[in-house]
Amino acid sequence: MARAHLFGTPVSPGIAIGTIRFLHVEAVPEMRRILPSEVEAEKGRLLEAMEAVREDLKTAMGKVPADMQEYREIIAAQVEMTRDPKLVNSTCQMVEQEHVGAAWALSKVVSQLVEVFRSLDDPYLKDRAQDVRVVGMRILNRLSGASRTHASDTNLILAAEDVSPADIMDLDVRSIRGIVTREGGITSHTAILARGMHIPALVCVTNLLVAARDGDTVIIDGLGGNVLISPSEEDTQDYSRREKAYAAWQASTRDTARWPADTRDALRVGVLANVEHASEAAELSGVGADGIGLYRTEFAFLKEVMPSEEELFEEYATVVRDAPGHGAIRTLDVGGDKLTRAQEAVREANPALGLRGIRFTLHNQDLFKSQLRALLRAAASSPEQGRLRILLPMISMVEEVRAVKRLLQEVDQELSMRGIAHAASVPLGIMVETPAAVFITDQLARECDFFSIGTNDLIHYLMAIDHNNMRVAYLAEAMHPAVIRSLKRIIDTGHREGLSVSACGELSSDPFGVVLMLGMGIDALSVSPPFLPGIKHLIRQLDAQACTELASQVLLSSDIRACKHLVNEMLQKVLGHELAFLTSTVMGARA
């Protein structure tokens, strides 16, 4: 293909050059007529392909690591689909009756099935449409004789609409240099896997499936958000230079990661980690995390079966034991739409504004109390007090915090009566992420021990935009005066009431966000582990006094562009060429 320059959202930093490999290419097979005498052979080919795919999937299932058992279940269901009588019979029938090729018949049957699943009300079953489609595509690839091993099986850049766990298990992980997808978001499988594998990844890459072909050379720039298809000689030279420079920079920031993040004028800023899996906690001291600013508890609940209190206790105790400092564990933050079928799934037209976060848990008290019991018990598993902190998501009313405190008291009494070791109380904090919470920070501050600003949701709710709606994505503007003023208000009020204030959204790992929030006096920033050494390095180059002055200027301005320019100027001055190594969505693609 011709040289093409595409843009995407970086979800894992780094630069990679390699050969693009499309997973399950969704090529609609040709409609091919066959002779009646060929029907049996065609059916045989189909069954053979299904058998082969079943074996592939079983092999993939065997490779799933122990801590990702929920992925096994997804793959196990896919194995069953490869011999599903409905799929087999309908396809064979079509081949027999209409005398068409198996590939074409299969693609027709699969798309009908996908439609059936998509039309279901149940959100969990809706997602199964994806499984049907993936299985269908695998069989089609088999039928078309696409070989799974290419000559250049090193330096692969995976490309797909979206990446499913089986896809990764299928390949030799060490050969994958980067991932690009057309769909997905910051917390998609793609993002989590790529960060875990320390390879760059971009999601939401527009035109990906049109502009690139299997086997094309491609450069992915997980720093600036660029994808170059069939790059020119100069591009390649330029990016291999950048790749080397980035690797060197990364190594040097990692070397200094264990040192505290003190600004030039000796102000210490805490740098914490955002974590999804308990197993990550042990690796955090290597990237220099001072603690865990946000531990997301959703993962255990997204399985098909609800986790037991014991399982949760084990999980949280591991976090407390392995975290390099304190660990703020956020209580379940899902809406009914995300919890598979654990509860009767609540169907809401607008889940982001519905029964999610604290609203959901307060409505499902059995589930919530089981989580709170596990938390209080885990808090007692460490001799050091206050290592475990509880963080409440989606708070919009003081009453919600009070209700949680009452529940905590109940749970404490229950555990005492049953003679189970637990902490009587733990530090309690709230996520400030709704506009309502911003306006009552003073009242909320008197009910809790710390604030954590959830910048992503805060921006969406302040700007009244749906984060799934690409048409209004341009309004997700972190430098909007409403956002800047809210940040200032939360930090100031928190401090006035004697609370520590941290931030844990994407803005915390964005150099623009770092400069501004540091200027407003934020106590700690919580970022995804791969970004952590770089953010510490950035803080050490900054002057807190200068940041404060800059933040005041930005607070007074109504000109977003001018403000960005000002911040960019400061960043250029202190970081120079190093600025290119930090990912910024505020500034957008900079290449």
Task: Give the number of residues written for the chain.
Answer: 591
Q: Are the beta carbons of 201 and 194 closer than 8 angstroms?
A: yes
Q: Are the beta carbons of 16 and 178 closer than 8 angstroms?
A: yes
Q: Which is nearer to another protein, 341 or 446 (CB)?
A: 341
204 carries an active-site annotation: no
Q: Which is nearer to another protein, 131 or 322 (CB)?
A: 131
Q: Which is nearer to another protein, 78 or 181 (CB)?
A: 78
- What is the distance between the alpha carbons of residues 319 and 327, in angstroms, rounded to a whole number? 7
Q: Which is nearer to another protein, 139 or 430 (CB)?
A: 139
Burial class of 97 by CB neighbour count within 10 A (0 to 12, 13 to 18, 19+): exposed
- What is the distance between the alpha carbons of residues 292 and 272, in angstroms, rounded to a whole number? 5
Q: Which is nearer to another protein, 133 or 537 (CB)?
A: 133
CB of 308 to another protein, least distance (A): 11
Q: Which is nearer to another protein, 131 or 221 (CB)?
A: 131
β-strands 292-296, 327-330 pairing:
parallel
CB of 165 to another protein, least distance (A): 14
CB of 84 to another protein, least distance (A): 5
Sheet-wide strand order for 201-203: 4-7, 226-229, 217-221, 15-22, 156-160, 176-181, 201-203, 9-12
Q: Which is nearer to another protein, 281 or 342 (CB)?
A: 342
CB of 79 to another protein, least distance (A): 8
Burial class of 122 by CB neighbour count within 10 A (0 to 12, 13 to 18, 19+): middle
DSSP string, 397-428: -HHHHHHHHHHHHHHHHHHHHTT----S---E
Q: Which is nearer to another protein, 79 or 194 (CB)?
A: 79
CB of 304 to another protein, least distance (A): 5
CB of 315 to another protein, least distance (A): 19
Amino acid making up residue 263 = T
Residue environment code for 469-488, b if the CB has 16+ CB neighbours within 10 A, otherwise e: eeeeeeebbbbbbebbebbb
Q: What angle do CA 271, 257, 18 make, to 5 degrees?
A: 105
Q: What angle do CA 225, 229, 232 make, to 5 degrees?
A: 105
189 carries an active-site annotation: yes
CB of 88 to another protein, least distance (A): 9
CB of 347 to another protein, least distance (A): 12
Residue environment code for 156-189, b if the CB has 16+ CB neighbours within 10 A, otherwise e: bbbbbbbbbbbbbbbbeeeebbbbbbbebebebb
581 DSSP 8-state letter: G
Rg (CA), the chain: 26
Cα torsion for 257, 258, 261, 265, to the nearest 10°?
A: -110
Phi and psi, residue 101, nearest 5°: -65, 150
CB of 533 to another protein, least distance (A): 40
Contacting positions for another protein (CB under 8 A): 73-74, 76-77, 79-81, 83-87, 113, 116-117, 120-122, 124-125, 128, 131-132, 304-306, 340-342, 344
Q: Which of 5, 99, 189, 495 is catalytic?
A: 189
β-strands 176-181, 450-453 pairing:
unpaired
Q: Two tokens at 150?
A: 């290419």
- Bridge partners of 179, per DSSP, are 158, 201
Q: Which is nearer to another protein, 246 or 301 (CB)?
A: 301
* Positive or negative: CA dihedral 126, 128, 130, 132: negative
Q: Two tokens at 96?
A: 């027999």
Q: Which is nearer to another protein, 340 or 364 (CB)?
A: 340
β-strands 4-7, 226-229 pairing:
antiparallel
CB of 170 to another protein, least distance (A): 19
Q: Which is nearer to another protein, 93 or 232 (CB)?
A: 93
C-alpha atoms less than 13 angstroms from C-alpha of 282 in its C-beta half-sphere: 5
CB of 278 to another protein, least distance (A): 23
Q: Which of 204, 448, 504, 563 is catalytic?
A: 504
- Bridge partners of 181, per DSSP, are 160
Q: Residue 246 to residues 291, 375, 414, 510, 523: CA-CA distances in angstroms?
A: 26, 40, 54, 17, 28
* Positive or negative: CA dihedral 61, 64, 70, 74: negative
Q: Residue 373 to residues 275, 332, 421, 430: CA-CA distances in angstroms?
A: 21, 13, 10, 18
Which residues are known catalytic residues?
Answer: 189, 504
